[in-house]
Amino acid sequence: MSQPDSFNLKQIAVPAFGPSLLYGISNGAILPVIALTAREQGASVAAAGLIAALIGIGSLLSNIPSALFTERFGEKRAMAGAAVLSVIGLLLVIGVPNLWVLALAMLMQGCAQSVFQLARQSYMIEVVPLAYRARALSTLGGTTRIGTFIGPFAGAALIHFLGLDGAYWIAICAMLGAGLIAIKAPDIEPSGRAGKGAPRARMGEVARDHRGVYATLGVGVMLISALRASRQVVIPLWADHLGLDATTTSLVYGLVAAVDMSVFYPAGKVMDQRGRLWVALPCTLLMGLSLMAIPLTGGVTSFILVSVLLGFGNGIGSGIVMTLGADAAPPGARTQFLGIWRFMADLGASGGPVALSVLTALVSLGGASFGVGTLGLVAAGVFWRWLPRRAHA
């Protein structure tokens, strides 16, 4: 691993961040058209929504198997394998227009996403010194978001000529590029895994030995993930509640995404130089208080201001889940630990919108947004209690 005094993130820019940017483009290209593809193939609105949700379900179910796969084959092969799996699924969507095939392909995208992201994180932990870890992982998260922002525009350009299949062709090209860069990346010394001949750590043992971390900081990352997933549902629904048209809602969403993408590197630098708490606390408080304030907005201006604040809170937390997981991961069982860690984060991401839906049915959308927002205050309390006050030495 490089020494901190001689290390520069530019040294690893292409092998580290190139695949994440391309993965983001792939994901961003297909997300807006999955439900439309399902509808085109005869699915009801509810079924189309379920098929679109299968990516998240596939990722959730694959986190622990992904850890075992990455542990066995290494980061490079795991990323290349994930790219191949994703491309096969996307080709099936184009070549076999059938709802069951589309559902299977979305599950495959979720599995690929889980393997890819875990291997990406593991690779970064290996090649980046501790003093630069938060900046590197924040940039990793930031480049994925930039790709996700670019993806729909790239997809739209090709959809104009090829129909909905155009978005899938953009995704295929992006994933092939990501896999190619990953496989050509320089080999690394796997310091975070057991050496040859050494017994591999078992998932159950890792979960038991580190249950204290999972029960404290792990709960914190579950709550952050729940807040993040909920904000993506609340913003368009509250815009509709205010009577905003689709164009205005899209512009608000784009503005929030732009703010979200603009602050990842400074936030990572603060985490490295001042400590993780300096970002974890404002991230959770801003997201939580913003969600609690959404029901108080009665017009376009106040709604935009609160939404931008919500985007800023999420943006400064770019990479926080990966960074905290990297800090807590034991050297001899890193991938196993991170597999469970990612499972908890995905559980929060899945549970947040479900909690929002239940609260909306029981109370109202405003009450649900306020209720989910209180999770941010709980998360802030968790991090205040269990995160160190200072940066790592």
The CATH number of domain 11-186, selected from 2.40.160.20, 1.20.1250.20, 3.40.50.970, 3.60.21.10? 1.20.1250.20
| pLDDT for residue 2 | 46
CA distance 264 to 145: 10
Q: Mean pLDDT, consecutive 10-residue segments, the chain of 393 residues?
A: 60 82 90 83 79 85 88 85 94 92 93 88 84 90 88 85 89 94 70 52 86 94 92 84 79 84 90 93 96 92 94 92 92 88 90 84 89 95 89 56
CA distance 221 to 209: 19
Q: What is the DSSP letter of 29?
A: H
Half-sphere exposure of 283 (CA within 13 A, CB side): 31
Helix, coil or strand: residue 3:
coil
| pLDDT for residue 192 | 45
Tens-digit pLDDT profile for residues 73-120: 888 888 899 999 999 999 999 999 899 999 999 999 999 999 988 888
* Residues 6+ positions from 208 with CB-CB distance below 8 Å: none
Q: Where in the chain is the domain with CATH 1.20.1250.20?
A: 11-186, 204-392
CA distance 53 to 173: 23
| CA dihedral sign of residues 307, 308, 313, 315 | positive
Q: What is the gyration radius of the CA atoms in the chain, in angstroms?
A: 20
Give the residue from 22, 23, 2 showing the smallest Cα distance to 12: 2
| pLDDT for residue 391 | 63
> How far is residue 208 CA from its own chain's centroid?
26
Question: Kind and range of the H or E element at 361?
Answer: helix 334-362
- Report the top-level CATH class of 204-392: mainly alpha
| pLDDT for residue 129 | 87
Question: Kind and range of the H or E element at 312?
Answer: helix 300-316
| pLDDT for residue 6 | 62
Q: What share of the chain is helix, strand, coil (3-state, %, to 5)?
A: 85, 0, 15
**Residues shown for the chain:** 393
Give the residue from 318, 324, 374 showing the smallest Cα distance to 344: 324
Angle between helices 211-241 and 277-293 (to 10 degrees): 30
Q: Which two tokens stand for residue 287?
A: 């997201």
